[in-house]
Structure 1
Amino acid sequence: MDLRETAIRRGLMAGAAIGVLITAMPAAAQQGQVEEIVITGSRIASSNLNSPSPLQVVGGEDIDIAASATLQDVLLKNPTFGAPSISRTNSNFQTASAGAATINLRNLGVDRTLVLVNGRRFVSGIPGSAAVDLNTIPTQFIDRVEVLTGGASAVYGSDAVAGVVNIIYKQDFEGIEADARYGISEEGDGIEKDVSLMMGGNFDDNRGNIVGFLGYSNQGAVFSRNRDFAAVDQSSLGALDGDPSHAFTVSRPYYSSYAPQGRFTAGGRNFTYDKNNNLISGFSTNGTETRAADGFNRSDYRTIAIPTERYLFATQGDYEVNDNLRFFMEGTYAGTQTKTEMEPFGLASDDIFPATVWNIQNADGSRNPLVPTALYDAATDTNGDGLKDLVFTRRLREVGNRGNTADRDTYRFLVGADGDIPMVEGWRYETYLGYGKTSESQVSNGQVNVQSVRQALDAVVDVNDINSNGNRTELICRDADARAQGCHPINLFGFGSISPEAAKYIAAPGMLSTFTQQTIAGLNVTGDVVDLPAGALGVALGTEYRAERSRSEFDALQQSGLNAGNAIPATRGDFDVFEGYAETNVPILADLPFAKQLNLRGAVRFSDYSTIGTTTSWNIGGEWQPIDDIRFRVIRAQSVRAPNISELYSPPSQNYPTGLIDPCVGIGATGGGVIGENCRRDPGVLSNIAANGKVTLTQSDVQGVSGFDLGNPNLSEEKGKSWTIGAVITPTIEALSAFSMTVDYFNVKIEDAISAIPRQFILDQCYRTNDQEYCKLIRRYQAFGVNSAGAIDEVDQPMANAGSLATSGLDITLNHRLDLEDLGLAGQLNSRLSYTHVFKGYEIPLEGAAKDSFNGEIGTPRDKAALNLIYGLDNLSVAWTSTWIGNSYLDNQFLASMEWPGNVGVGNWFYHDVQVRYAATENFELYAGADNVFDKKPAPILSNLPGNETGTETASGTYDAIGRFFYAGVKVTF
């Protein structure tokens, strides 16, 4: 049965189910109509229903104070959010979706955070994932954002394991609002331009309203070379010498050994060219030389912040026919272009030749004329074929920088109707149908066709004037078919030695085409079943249908790995799901001593997936308000997350992981215990020991580890069990009436968590326990070439319902409003403090394995807080925002692998932002501000340390890598 047939079948089932539900509604429903419907983490319509789960609201004022082009920047100020997996400052090296903007509640992963718009799903911006790209959401069109932290799958559906981010658009807007903002970093880069226009109005005697939004933003690039802390390739000295006290001590420069003049190994001797283009030998191969001729500074080409340009359109409208029927619609379009840039490609002989070496002597005994005499004379046979060979690395600067330009388009349209249900007093319905699609077209550059390079290296002297140009001494490609396709010999020896014609011939521009498609439909009803002594028993019932389809397809060279880069096959897949849910709120006591209000509530959702079958999620909880001043709330929930398309269907996709520690390093001919015995079973390891006395790796070995990421069609759903227990304090005594406080404890544990088995875990399990299920995922070099014999070549990483994931902690929010006139001063001061402390956070990679704690590690701090102070006086307001990131430490698995005792990390990190707004007239407002006022430099998370984002020399998803940033703008309303 195909997807369309399934959709029709399940749509009929949904309609039948809702029909039964409506027919079964009791006639004793509450009389009258609810005057105000509010969204409070529940689908039950009520004018005063409180949220059973912690609910934080990011309002319009918060968005104005942030003055950011993207919603991601606004939400990251909230301490409940962890480091995003994709942002402008941490995705320059991604092969797809670079520059997108995702969010990550509780550090449980972007796929466990459900993003809604007006309470309904929004199409994903990341192929194969459920993650929404917040670049597609126009910030100025947002009225507020409701952040529901806690298991919410029963109410809102799959993916809400960590919580829900519900984005509410502005409604019933009348008038014209124009906003323009310009920003620039203190270094003169990262320029931001943001303009928007919103228009809205009522029509037909206010029965209808329509709002339209147009926006444009352009965020400029920030390059590593323009920041002192990232301008030169560097590394953690501690990661190089093994001393934990040197963990954050810079080894600078730490240049790449892939140099633009080439590095060559012939007959066991190393050669390169000096700055005068003279061939020299005897240099060190560790890449740390400061001489320009010996090393290459990759940071001179890398990007910290990706330039991002966006065109946005959004609209919504409604028309009330009568009390029983109101039509509504939503429309969104976002056109986004991003551009990545990084250093030219580093080519090695093992990228080109299966034997990892270049035979520079032909079978007839003649020499390859491209090779300089000194290198040819020094060369010997190292692979046993009787012919001289050469090992090389070469930075292909003549081919140009690597990078990609991506154009992404997101469309979403939704229509629906709601109103009172005829002849059933007090009951309302809502039905909707929506379609969304995100497509990406990406063009990349800087890669090469390895087959073309192989042809271009096979050169001969044109003694017979084959090309009929009269020159019998020039070099030509040996293969006639290759010459017909434009082949020119490629000279790898020395600076600028590759001709433009050869560079053009070997260049392989890449292509990527993706789309993600979503169809949603739903029908929900809500009302009061019966009046109880403490109030009406409220119920919400509904069915929902969702179909997802995704495809991500690179060009043929990329899919096969023939462009000397990662082999990334196409990913295709689809699924659909039919769901039914019920939610109820039962008032138990009201207006009694020590029971101002006591409610119980519960919800259950049944889902039928075309991929994994049926799942069940539920929650049960309650609220107790003994007096007006305090309210307690508790909820126990089971949430589910079904595997997404990438997790199910991704074919083997090549990756180049960093930060892996090889357990065999330092193992000699004897000793080493169990690890030593298991390492010596590999012939390549024995060759390394024979050559060096113990397993010894070069920089190329450490940087050259590859492997394949693997999907798993046999995955099942993961289940999250959570507790949230909290209190809301709103004092009624006059002295504290301007104060409010919420305190919430959260505890989330996810079983059968869908995750990629960590590569370090695979290595450790193989060599510490000789578990062959893991050992078969590891491959090592068996002969010396560019990489050492015995060095890790590849470690594959499959997806699995691997183990469990858990976190618990405490959220505290304090709000206070102070009228300074009471102190004899002018103005008003509003303050809000948000603080999150995490008690624990850990992952168990596989059942039975030890806990891997991530709590307190870089990117997942134990403590995080944000303080907002707003001073207002007449038409003037000044806002000050302080963000605190607590002490953070290096990954404990890394520390254990390095045998470093205790925790090694960085201290507290504070950022401060300021903004001034002045309303010159009722319709004209000016504002200006600065982010990172004190120009706090990012924490030094250097190369070879876990958490490092390549090119930034920090964990740029956590710490600001741009620096002090100024902006100014104007808002005009009519």
Structure 2
Amino acid sequence: MKLKRNYLFGTTVLAGILAVSAPAWAQAQQTAAEAADATQVDEIVVTGSRIRRDPVTAPTPLIQVSRETLLTTGQNTVIDYLATIPALMNSQVPSDTTAGVLNAGGLSLPNLRSLGSGRTLTLVDGRRHVGSPQGTLAVDVDTIPRLLIESVEIVTGGAASVYGADAVSGVLNFKLRKDFEGLEIDARWAQLNDGGQDSKRISVLAGKNLFDDRLNVYAFGEYEQLDEVLAADIDWLQGGWGLVGRDADTAAAAYDGVTDALLYKDRRTLQLLRWGQVTLANNYQPSALNNPNTIPTGQCTTTSITSASCFGVAPGRTYVFDGLNARIADFGNWVQQTGTNRAVNVGGDGENPNVIFNVDSTLPKSENARFQVGGNFKITPNINLYAEAKYVDETTNLATGYSFGDVYISDTLNAGNSMQILSTSAYTTRTDNAFLPANLAAAIRANTTPVYGPATAGAPGAQTGTTAAPFARYSAWLLDRPQTNDKQLQRYVVGLNGSAGDLGFVKNIDWDLGYTYGRVDNKNVERGLDIERFSYAMDAVRDASGNIVCRVQQLTANGGTVTSRNPNVPGTLNSQSAVVQNCKPLNVFGLGNQSEEALQYVRAQLTIDQVNEQHDALGTVSGQLWDFWGAGPIGVALGAEYRKEYTEGTGRSRSLGTTYAQLNSGADFLPASYETKEAFAELSIPLMRDSFLGEYAELSGSYRYSDFSTFGGNDVYGVNLVYRPIRDIAFKTSFNTSVRAPTLSETNSPQTQTFLQFNDPCATVNIQNFADRTKAANRIVNCAALAQQLGLTFNFQDPTAANAYRPEYGSSVAGRNGGNPNLQPEESESFTFSTVLQPRFIPNFSLVLDYYEITIDKVIAAVSAQTAAENCVNGPSLNTSACQTLTRTGVNDPATPRDDRFLLVDFLQSSINYAKRNVRGLDFTSNYRFDTQDMLGRNWGVFQHSVNGSWLIEQKNFNNIENPNDFTELSSTLFYPRTRLTSTLTWQTPFEPLRVTWVADWQTAQDIVQRRDFVQNADSRPAEYLDTKNFMRNDFSVRYQVRDDLTLTGTVQNAFDSEQARWLGATLYSNFDPYGRRYSISLNYRPW
């Protein structure tokens, strides 16, 4: 209703002015008609409307990007440039860290208003294009031939009633060149990262007019190679910068004057290493109750050797490997001072957390070939036949993390049988493991943990004795998990268009009837760890001859049997079982000690064949009706569209069979489809032209009815008003509605396995250190309610309390991704108000201000399990919809260590209909051209300056269905700068073949911790680390026209090597530039 009120206000202001001029319309009719003839402007179809019109009177906010800009920008891809436009700043570009998402590596998906690529409709010449990610409509714009692009028109307001329901946030329309004749060759070499990785591309476009220019044919071809970029290749990540905890606060004193975390270089983590570390069972001394930096009660009990609380990384208790030997780890010159698990140290041994936790390809290795042919044939002067065919073959190779696991080492485990598999990432072995270094095996067998008495208010607990604890835990990143996507995209378009002149009272009729077919075939191959085989291979022993064999081979050598540890094939194994016969002993203790044959034995592979298919038939007709009062004829457009979307993904079950693997295992994506039949209409009514109250005014409206085979019928509409009082200024306002049906991916995706490194929002220390004290208070109440539901009681307020909740997650938590068949369509409203200034007293200057509001109800969103866990407890009450996606243990057994209860053990990451999402902001664009010869009488060249920016007033997510007033504000947080702008200054030098361009991409600081929260806990971090600081990247390009047919362009991107704030640590934020200073050179040759 708020948007409707805003629109009524906007239209009332304009309509009130217009109404006064009604008596003058008839008198002005003849004069207006004569003026119209004298100032006739070519009318065209612009994106946002299907009615031919003067582009100046386009009814919706419009950003236009020319072919010239795309070719000279210096950006590596089209989407890389589009993402510099603030309205598109969170678009998915190939260099985003998307590799960890199955089948998403290397895709280029526009995302208007940061509302998601699924709410941005991408068209090619006004027609739909098949989506690339499975079961979605999101278009990979890198598959659109770049040399064929004439311009990109971006409607930054809702356009669902004109183009389709998924145009919630707007439309990108790629307009291709028509009747191209000649030969154009474009070649480019570019650095992708200042570490030396690069890309190479060559593109060729040829066209010819035949039969007295009645027939035009063209052919396009492109070949491209891109190197892989890993986090380890990015120089500023190699430094290991990040915040390290050094103090914790008690519940009674959130501020104790000691800074809780400081910024350090050369951080290391010993939590998980490539091929492992071993930590002996240990116990921290209980600290005084007024010192929360350690734990006031003993943590490790001997009742369970798998208790996560027994294995906090600690000096003197953690071993690393040098070759085949083990030694006590070097913790460097500073160790994290908070909690029982001292997993971060400065200097010494360990992995760089900025690299080891960013093992996905930040830019995948790609090899791409793209081809398109097409033509236009004038059958008659008024009828044109058009056709095009496209084929794209893209192969992407990318890293998607490591397999991981914990191995519990104890001689009390499974004597005389195969070793137990505790979970998809937890295994067991004994100290007789043949690869376990002898000194480490001896240390495990002799290990004891201290027993402490209770702490007092001012003194730590005194040691009262020791307890034998002959067990340890091995924790490691294991096999790499590479992924290959081999994608073929086909798209075919055929149709007729033309003009029919006048038919009765309808004048200047234009029509178009076309059919589009698109198909994407993607073979995804993912490699990872065979859990069962790894369990057998790593549990190696020496046989009677002293040879190292798998324990299962030794136990079955003389006719014995052992228990199968594969839950998919329960029963027993013997010496003839394939997994036993083929077992190759695997040394897991130390990087580089693994034999290739053992690695091959434990590898698993998953192959999925995915299909997206689209059929689209579209017919439109437009024309002009009567001109009642001399303001111009009424415009009308009618159309109908039929569309079918189909998807499937097979092979997951077939390729894995009964294999028990640490992969994205699960069911196949069964064939799914839907059809939609749509009819639409558009009407534009000129209200006045050259009246004494203004130059021009127009009221227009659009309507679309859609009938989905899955969700039934719905209708949407749009209303627009344009008013130009004088030639210097114009006003535009619009109101649009939209109904977006869930995609096939959102409703039909099968549940597949995935893994999450979990930071428990209910951990007492996390609540105590949470910057937002309101949400921290909510967590205390809500976490207690969750625990009570499971029959558990913890103190969530005081980390020094004996019954504080102190979870220890040994490795990643296994969970599931999947669709939700119960989703309902989301509904949205959008409102825009625009002002266009072209003042005559400032020649060659223009300014456009576009205010926008978008509200989406029943918004469909998929949040991570981490976010769901936080949403579950952050609000004033439990968020049931979020809590229901998580499973926690409810074991209340005295033999189970306290900190192993209430752990997250399963989750489902799936889309649900949340309450709503609001976004509100102001886009601004200015252009100014300054010719020194005309203005100063001296030829110092021509300067062209443009600024394109966006002010994000608010972006709110209402993700609590039970409490519609509970929201999360994203504006001015990470990824969502309050203001972002791109400034482009081009100097056409007096030496005309030479042009220099400077592009500055600037954004305001984004809050990491909000200042109101910092006031309540002012020692949580140094004040200068509360936000990211303002960020600016500077690009420079030089273009030299060697001769009429040859152009050279050289570019340096991020010339001053700007990088994101070091205190952000390992996370790469795509709105900053992580790749440093890099160079490119391109050549454009047009021989004829």
TM-score between both structures, scaled by the size of structure 1: 0.85
Aligned to 2:835: 727
* Structure 2, unaligned runs of 5 or more: 1-32, 250-254, 282-304, 312-316, 332-340, 409-419, 450-468, 563-573, 768-776
Question: Is contact 1:261–1:272 with CA below 8 Å preserved after alignment?
Answer: no
1:648 alignment partner in structure 2: 747
Q: Which of 633, 643, 647 lines up with 1:546 in the alignment?
A: 643
Q: CA offset at residue 496 of structure 1?
A: 4.2
Deviation at 1:457, TM superposition (A): 4.7
Query: CA separation of 1:861/1:171 partners in 2, compared to 1, >3 Å: closer, same or farther?
Result: same
Taking the aligned partners of 1:94 and 1:941, their CA distance within structure 2 comes to 26
Asked if 2 retains the 8 angstrom alpha-carbon contact of 1:662 and 1:792, the reply is no
Partner of 2:987: 871
Structure 1 residues 628 and 707, CA gap change in structure 2 (3 angstroms): same
Secondary structure (helix, strand or coil) at the match of 1:140 reads: helix
Deviations 1:678-727 (A, max 9, x none): 354346776999998244647745x6345333422122211111111112
Residue matched to 2:1000: 882
Q: Matches of 2:658 and 2:808 in 1, distance apart?
A: 27
Amino acid at match of 2:1073: D
Q: Could you report, residue by residue, the CA deviation over 1:173-212 in whole angstroms, capped at 9, with x for unpaired residues? A: 1111111122226735131212111111211111121222
Change (3 A) 1:750 1:673: closer
1:275 aligns with 2:322: yes
Give the distance between the partners of 2:624 and 2:546, measured in 1 at CA. 93
Q: Which piece of structure 1 moves more, 61-70 or 539-548?
A: 61-70
Distance, in Å, in 1 between the alignment partners of 2:1017 and 2:801 is 22
Counterpart CA distance in 2 for 1:496 and 1:890 is: 39
For residues 664 and 897 of structure 2, what CA distance do their matches in structure 1 show?
20
The 3-state SS of whatever aligns with 1:222 is coil
Distance 1:468 1:97 in 2: 41
Larger mean CA deviation between 273-282 and 305-314 belongs to 273-282
**Alignment correspondent of 2:1077:** 964
Distance 2:673 2:375 in 1: 31
Please say if 1:313 is aligned against 2:419. Answer: no
- Measure the CA separation in 2 of the matches of 1:546 and 1:927: 43
Partner Cα separation in structure 2 for residue 579 and residue 897 of structure 1: 55
RMSD: 4.0
Match for residue 485 of structure 2 among 406, 409, 413? 406
1:43 aligns with 2:57: no
Question: Equivalents in 2 of 1:442, 1:358: separation in Å?
Answer: 29
TM-superposed deviation, 1:258: 2.2
Determine which of 975, 978, 997 is the counterpart of 1:859.
Answer: 975
Contact preservation (8 Å) 1:700, 1:787: no
> Once the 2 structures are TM-superposed, how far is the Cα of residue 969 of structure 1 from its aligned partner?
2.0
**Is residue 959 of structure 2 the alignment partner of residue 841 of structure 1?**
no
Cα distance in 2 between the residues matched to 1:380 and 1:515 = 58
The one-letter code of the counterpart of 2:1052 is A
1:20 corresponds to: none
Q: Deviations over 1:264-293 (max 9, x none)?
A: 556657553443644456998533246776
> Given the superposition, is the C-alpha separation of residues 927 and 299 from structure 1 closer, same or farther in structure 2, using an over 3 Å criterion?
same
- Equivalent residue, structure 2, for 1:792: 904
1:94 aligns to what SS in structure 2?
coil
Return the alpha-carbon distance in structure 1 between the equivalents of residues 429 and 594 of structure 2: 18
Aligned partners of 1:239, 1:416: CA distance in 2, in Å? 68
Cα deviation code 1:188-246 (max 9, x no counterpart): 51312121111112111111212221112222223322333212556433699689977
CA contact under 8 A between 1:538 and 1:586: conserved in structure 2? yes
**Structure 1 residue 111 displacement after superposition:** 0.8
Taking the TM superposition and a 5 Å limit, the aligned residue runs for 1:221-370 are 221-231=228-238, 235-237=242-244, 249-250=263-264, 252-259=266-273, 260-265=275-280, 272-275=319-322, 277-280=324-327, 286-289=342-345, 299=355, 303-341=361-399, 344-349=402-407, 352-354=421-423, 358=427, 360=429
Q: Counterpart of 2:414?
A: none
2:532 matches 1:451: yes
The 3 A distance-change label for structure 1 pair 898 and 322 is farther
Could you tell me which runs of 5 or more consecutive residues in structure 1 were left unpaired when the two chains were aligned: 1-29, 382-386, 949-953
Distance 2:422 2:758 in 1: 27
CA deviations 1:151-172 (Å, max 9, x no partner) are: 1000010211100000011111
What is the DSSP-based 3-state SS (H/G/I as helix, E as strand, rest coil) of the residue aligned with 1:906? coil
Tell me if the contact between 2:720 and 2:735 (Cα under 8 Å) persists in the aligned partners. yes
Structure 1 distance, partners of 2:611, 2:280, is 45
The alpha carbon displacement at 1:82 in A equals 2.7
Residue 820 of structure 2 aligns to a residue in which SS?
Answer: coil
Closer, same or farther in 2 for the Cα pair 1:142/1:250, shift >3 Å?
farther
Amino acid at match of 2:442: A
SS at 1:237's partner residue? strand
Asked whether 1:693 is paired with 2:802, we answer: yes
1:485 positional shift: 5.1
For 1:928, the equivalent position in structure 2 comes to 1050
TM alignment of 1:818-833, pairs within 5 A: 818-821=930-933, 822-823=935-936, 824-833=938-947
Residue 429 (1) aligns with residue 429 (2): no
Q: Deviations over 1:710-763 (max 9, x none)?
A: 4221222111111111122223x3x42311221111111111111125644544
Match status 1:530 vs 2:537: no
- For residue 406 of structure 1, report the CA deviation from its aligned partner: 1.7
Given that 2:956 and 2:970 are in contact with CA atoms closer than 8 Å, whether structure 1 keeps it comes out as yes
Secondary structure of 2:731's aligned partner: strand
Q: Post-superposition shift, 1:105? A: 0.7
Deviations 1:556-579 (A, max 9, x none): 477999322444543342211111
Gap change, CA 1:881 and 1:784, over 3 Å in 2: farther
How far the C-alpha of 1:500 sits from its partner, in A, is 2.9
Question: Relative to 1, partners in 2 of residues 1:634 and 1:388: Cα closer, same or farther, differing over 3 Å?
Answer: same
Q: Which region of structure 1 is more displaced relative to structure 2, 745-754 or 402-411?
A: 402-411
Going from structure 1 to structure 2, the CA distance change for 1:692 and 1:116 (only over 3 Å counts) comes to same
Match status 1:586 vs 2:693: no
Between the aligned partners of 2:1029 and 2:130, the Cα distance in structure 1 is 39
Partner of 2:442: 374
SS at match of 1:92: coil
Q: Are the counterparts in 2 of residues 580 and 607 from structure 1 also a CA contact under 8 Å?
A: yes
Number of the residue aligned with 1:394: 476
Given that 1:114 and 1:159 are in contact with CA atoms closer than 8 Å, whether structure 2 keeps it comes out as: yes
Which of residues 752, 762, 765 in structure 1 aligns to 2:858? 752
Deviates most, 533-542 or 92-101: 92-101
CA distance in 2, matches of 1:254, 1:560: 39
Contact 1:258 1:296 in 2 (8 A): no
Q: CA deviation at 1:601?
A: 0.2
1:601-624: CA deviations, max 9, x gaps? Answer: 000000011111112111011111
Distance verdict in 2 for CA 1:96–1:897, change over 3 Å? farther
Aligned to 1:180: 187
Alignment check: 8 A CA contact 2:193 2:229 kept: no
Shift in Å, 1:104: 1.0
Partner of residue 820, structure 2: 712
Rounded to whole Å, the distance in 2 between the matches of 1:91 and 1:618 is 36
1:375 & 1:692 partners in 2: Cα distance? 32
The one-letter amino acid paired with 1:618 is Y
2:161 paired with 1:154: yes
Q: Is contact 1:429-1:526 (8 Å) kept?
A: yes
In 2, distance between residues paired with 1:807 and 1:35?
36
Match of 1:57 in 2: 64
Contact 1:704–1:793 at 8 Å: present in 2 too?
no
Could you tell me how far apart the structure 2 residues matched to 1:56 and 1:561 are?
A: 52
After the TM superposition, which of the residue ranges 277-286 and 859-868 deviates more from structure 2?
Answer: 277-286
Residues 1:440 and 2:509 are matched in the alignment: no
AA aligned opposite 1:540:
A
Match of 2:291 in 1: none
SS in 2 for 1:61: helix
Aligned equivalent of 2:302: none
- The AA in structure 1 aligned to 2:517 is Y
- CA distance, structure 2, for counterparts of residue 683 and residue 367 of structure 1: 41
- Give the 3-state SS of the residue equivalent to 1:299 in structure 2: helix
- SS of 1:305's equivalent in the other structure is coil
1:456-605 alignment to 2 at 5 Å?
456-457=537-538, 462-463=543-544, 479-480=574-575, 481-482=577-578, 486-533=582-629, 534-553=631-650, 555-556=652-653, 562-572=660-670, 573-605=672-704
Task: Kindly provide the amino acid, as one letter, of the partner of residue 620 in structure 1.
Answer: V
- 8 Å CA contact 1:145–1:166 kept in 2: the answer is yes
